[in-house]
Amino acid sequence: MISKITAILAKEITSDLRNPYTLAGSGLFLLSSLFVCYIAAKRINVVATWVALFWIIILFTSFNAVAKSFVSETRERMLYFYTLHHPGQFIASKMIYNGLVLIVLSSVAAFVYSTLFSMEINDLALFAYGVVFGASGISFVLSMLSTIASKAGRNLTLLAVLGLPILLPIILVAITLTKNAVDGIDWSVQWKYAFVLFALNVVCLALSLVLFPYLWRE
Amino acid sequence: MLVDVPRLDILNESIRNLFYHVTSWFAMVFLFIASFVYSIRYLNSGNEQHDLLAKIFVQVGMVFGAAGLVTGMLWAKYTWGAYWVPDPKLNGAAIALLAYLAYMILRNSLTDNLTRAKISAVYNIFAFVMMVIFVFILPRMTDSLHPGNGGNPAFSGYDLDNTMRFVFYPATIGWILLGLWISELRFRVDSLSQKMNDDLDIKSDRLDSIPRLDEE
């Protein structure tokens, strides 16, 4: 079970490293949108705006990065995967891979963003926690929804329509958590947001594992 | 509906909105739960009727959701002073409706019946779980202006002599039954029209199989 998941994961990573233009494309999309925001705003003094802009950039980058994961697979290749793997292993490895990609991308984004728009982050550990689990939650939801959107044949538009309402709980909790972390609000208030963010990740993971077999071979 | 209501500052007669607003949301939640259940049943059974029911419950539930939204906005105008305020409960309700609109768009973008039924059932289950979290759990974590949240009393805190309950509880049941009745009518219309289309297909197949004069 674990070895199968790592095998698919290794396949994803090697195929992306051999053909790095999609990953590089996502990275470049991220950097250019960061820079456009920097040129447009130059300075942001309000914490709420600072955090909101950061998560909007992450959101658009993740749509861009995750949408390709199922769209790029051809029908024939998918058929080949069906003969090799169990659906649960397949979606689990896809989600882990997308989660890793998004965590790396959003860490880069957090670093560049806080350099461009200087802001004193009071609780760095909690901010990092919010970014990591926010990114992984977004990637879990989008991995699942991109399979749905790719079945419907209309990829990015439909993914955005389906994804935004469902992503909002995760984004809202992540925004509150990171905003409080920048403000340095005490852990006694923050623990419930941290817990809910983690629980949302678990719920998305569990739902996808249960539901994906029904989309399989469709 | 015209029972005596508690006389309160600001709220005044607008407290009667309870009979329409809260009942609409209850009916919507009930219908969405029904749709969720039928989506699960569809995935287990593959019965097309279950898929049809899941779709109809969403459609009718959205009508009640829209009614709840409009009555809530009117009430907010007279008590809070604005049609819309940035409140977690309000935003949650709007987003939940958006998720179900997305469900309808997803259905319309798929043409093959079997694929549509399966994929939209999966999305419905996903959307419902997220809606529950968004509408029922998240607003309780933050401050909210909405009665019943963030330390604000719900109507039971105002309704000291219980006269409103005599209207409110039957109204809730009535709204839910109304929703079920409309859904049932729609279900019958839709399944009949589906059957008619199937019959037409069979007939046209038969017509094709009859040798034509000019071919002879």
Interface contact flag, A165 B102, Cβ < 8 Å: yes
- List residues of chain A with CB under 8 Å from any CB of chain B: 144-145, 148, 151-154, 158, 161-162, 164-166, 168-169, 172-173, 176, 192-193, 196, 200, 203, 207, 211, 214-215, 218
Cβ–Cβ < 8 Å for A123, A186 = no
**A138, A157, A166: best to mutate for the B interface, most B CBs within 10 A:** A166
Find chain A residues with C-beta within 8 A of B119's C-beta: 148, 151-152, 215, 218
Looking at residue B2, its pLDDT comes to 58
Over the stretch A35-74, which tens digit does the pLDDT of each residue have? 999 999 888 888 889 999 999 999 999 988 887 766 666 6
- The two tokens of residue A171 are 């984004």
Q: Give A179→chain B minimum CA distance, Å.
A: 14
Domain with A133, as residue range(s), is 2-215
Find chain A residues with C-beta within 8 A of B117's C-beta: none
> Out of A153, A200, A214, whose CB is closest to B133?
A200
Looking at residue B216, its pLDDT comes to 47
Query: B5 lies in a domain?
Result: no
**Who contacts B51 (Cβ-Cβ below 8 Å, separation ≥6)?**
B38, B39, B42, B116, B117, B120, B121
Number of separate domains in chain B: 1
Query: B2 lies in a domain?
Result: no
* Mean pLDDT computed over A13-19: 83
Over the stretch A103-118, which tens digit does the pLDDT of each residue have? 999 999 999 998 888 8
**Mean pLDDT of all residues belonging to chain A:** 86
Q: How far apart are CA B93 and CA B28, in angstroms?
A: 11
Looking at residue A65, its pLDDT comes to 85
Domain with B19, as residue range(s), is 12-215
**Range with the lowest mean pLDDT among B2-6, B76-80, B139-143, B149-153?**
B149-153
Number of separate domains in chain A: 1
**More reliable by pLDDT, B1 or B190:** B190
